[in-house]
Chain A
Amino acid sequence: MTLKATPLNSAHRALGAKMVDFGGWDMPVNYGSQIEEHNAVRLDAGMFDVSHMCVVDVKGANVRAFLRGLLANNVDKLQAPGKALYSCMLNAEGGVIDDLIVYFLAEDWFRIVVNAGTADKDVAWMNQQNAATNSGLTITQRRDGNDPIALIAVQGPNARAKVWQVLPTTQAATEQLKPFNAAIVPGTAFGEAMVARTGYTGEDGFEIGVPAAQAEALWNALLAAGVKPAGLGARDTLRLEAGMNLYGQDMDETTNPLDAGLAWTVDLVSERDFIGKAALQAKGQQAQFVGLILREKGGILRAHQRVVAASGNEGEITSGTFSPSMQQAIALARVPMDVAIGDTVQVVIRDKHLAASVVKLPFVRNGKVLAA
């Protein structure tokens, strides 16, 4: 089977990246050392090719009403053009179809960015709901086809400054952008650029969308400005330290968002109905989603390891790694409701039961270690 390639595939290979099959995509896992790349993002500026993710444009007169019913978070929070929201898209049983970011661009145009592996499923679901609600919208995915958009995420304390060096005509429109806001700037040296102050690392930065044909030139310009290329290995350690969920690992269609630490993204307060609302109200929260820090030597915390509480009740690690910024093994875990922040639990690694502390997420934010 041939792997799918982003517009930056040759750029990664030219840098000597170690390439892997990531959900059917030929992607860079590192360019030498994922720990160095992680540190570059925490301390300076690194960039990720995220062009395997999919921009979806949803256009039409009824788009706001449609999204009010489609998404668990409330798009009525988006009143200023460019403002964005992190949300889950649920099925009728309240299970998570995907997590995504939705941008309000105009009253007849919202832009959604979805995960790479779920894009086809997501677009099919949106089309199905569009028909079912008679909303008459045009839903266009911008990853394959005529007018594709490539995505580069530049992250770190110096990220925005480096982006402005390379895209100086975007500075005026983006200098005042608050986090979770975006601007579309036409006529840059790399075509029309969407610049969003969002990211998946816990650091400041911009995620940039440009026409796919311009991606390599933009990537090379960012390289020349000193931005360090960073691969999927670093992306995972960064997002885990930042307490950010990974779809397909921390939650999937069988997971209720309330059990995945995502209650803050689900608006159950307003009277708005949305797909999955009734199921969530009926189920409520049945598990907690917490951080773990391993306190005894004996291995690294990893997905699917059993977590045993003092009561004897058990949970499971959903994502684990070794934190470069903390120099400790850390994890995200789904645990029983009787576990409290500050508790010590046992994690089963090979033949040992090792002690771990239960902590509030995130572990790290804006370069600072918060959990200890």
Chain B
Amino acid sequence: MNIPTDLKYTESHEWVRREEDGSLTVGITEYAQDALGDIVFVELPQVGKEFTAGNDAAVVESVKAASDIYAPVSGTVTAVNQPVADAPDSINQDAYGAWLFKLAPSDAAAYDKLLDAEAYGKTTDH
């Protein structure tokens, strides 16, 4: 399964990309969308909401299961991807393109502590 090396990851199957301005873009991995199956509902956070790392930030529901998406680091939501909320199956089509929300991290160094592609790959190797 595809795990891009230019992204960071969490054990709960979120991917994270640091943008040039320091903001973080968050989505769910290909592994996660495959495990969920056909995604039919997405609930995104409000712009401006503040999260501590590990808080419930969003919800992705497939036909068979609801899955909480967690804030990978502490920060404030700066943008959400409404087109993905309107077309939930886009996550199945392109997990790394269908980002969910962007965060302004409260601690820039927290990103570096996330899993790299190899470490994340090991967590999905069963």
Footprint of B on A, CB under 8 Å? 18, 29-30, 33-35, 233, 236-237, 298-300, 302, 321-322, 324, 329, 350
Set of chain B residues within 8 Å of A300, measured between Cβ atoms = 40-41, 61, 63, 66
Q: Is A29 a contact partner of B37 (Cβ separation < 8 A)?
A: yes
Contact of A299 with B41 in the complex, beta carbons under 8 Å: yes
Closest 6 pairs (CB-CB, A-B): A322-B40, A35-B38, A300-B61, A322-B63, A300-B41, A34-B38
Instruction: State the CA gap A303–B37 with chains docked (Å).
Output: 18
Contact A298 B43 (CB under 8 A): yes
User: What separation, in Å, do the CA atoms of A236 and B43 have in the docked complex?
Assistant: 24
- Provide the residues of chain A in CB contact with B61, threshold 8 Å: 299-300, 322
Count contacts on B: residues with CB < 8 A to the other chain.
12
The CA-CA distance from A308 to B84 in the complex, in Å, is 31
Chain A residues contacting B64 (CB-CB under 8 Å) are: 29, 34, 233, 236, 321
Contacts of B63 in A (CB 8 A): 34-35, 233, 237, 300, 321-322, 324
- Pairwise interchain contact B37-A34, C-beta atoms closer than 8 A: yes
What CA separation (Å) do A300 and B61 show in the bound complex? 7
State whether the Cβ of B80 lies closer than 8 Å to any Cβ in chain A. no
Residues of A with C-beta under 8 A to B43: 298-299
Cβ < 8 Å to A, chain B residues 41-86: 41, 43, 59, 61, 63-64, 66
Shortest Cβ distance from B126 into chain A, in angstroms?
13
Most chain B C-beta atoms within 10 Å of own C-beta, residue among A30, A237, A322:
A322
Find chain A residues with CB under 8 A from B92 CB: 33
Between A and B, 29 residue pairs with Cβ closer than 8 Å are: A18-B37, A29-B37, A29-B64, A30-B37, A33-B37, A33-B38, A33-B92, A34-B37, A34-B38, A34-B63, A35-B38, A35-B63, A233-B37, A233-B64, A236-B64, A237-B63, A298-B43, A299-B43, A299-B61, A299-B66, A300-B40, A300-B61, A300-B66, A321-B64, A322-B41, A322-B63, A324-B63, A329-B41, A350-B59
Least distance between B48 CB and chain A CB atoms (Å): 18
A173–B110 Cα gap in the complex (Å)?
71
Question: How far, in angstroms, from A233 to B43 measured CA to CA in the complex?
Answer: 23
Tell me which residues across on chain B come within 8 A of A34, comparing CB atoms: 37-38, 63-64
Smallest CB gap from A300: residue in B: B61
**A25 CA / B97 CA spacing, docked (Å):** 36
Bound state CA distance, A29 and B34, in angstroms? 12
| Residues of B close to A18: CB separation below 8 A | 34, 37
Task: Encode contact with A along B7-48: 1 for CB under 8 Å, 0 otherwise.
Answer: 000000000000000000000000000100110110100000
**Chain B residues whose C-beta falls within 8 Å of the C-beta of A30 in the assembled complex:** 37
CB distance from B54 to the nearest CB of A (A): 17
Q: Is there an interface contact between B59 and A299, defined as CB atoms closer than 8 Å?
A: yes
Q: In the complex the two chains form, what is the Cα distance from A299 to B59 in whole Å?
A: 9
- A99 CB, min distance to chain B CBs, angstroms: 22
Give every chain A residue within 8 A of B59 (Cβ-Cβ): 299, 350
Query: In the complex the two chains form, what is the Cα distance from A243 to B102 in whole Å?
Result: 41
Q: Roughly how many angstroms separate A162 CA and B82 CA in the complex, as a whole number?
A: 43
What separation, in Å, do the CA atoms of A329 and B63 have in the docked complex? 9
Assembly CA distance A302 to B41 (angstroms): 13
User: What's the nearest-Cβ distance from chain A to residue B34, in Å?
Assistant: 8
- Which chain B residue lies CB-closest to A236? B64
Minimum distance in angstroms from A57 CB to a CB of chain B? 34
Cα(A324)–Cα(B39), bound, Å:
11
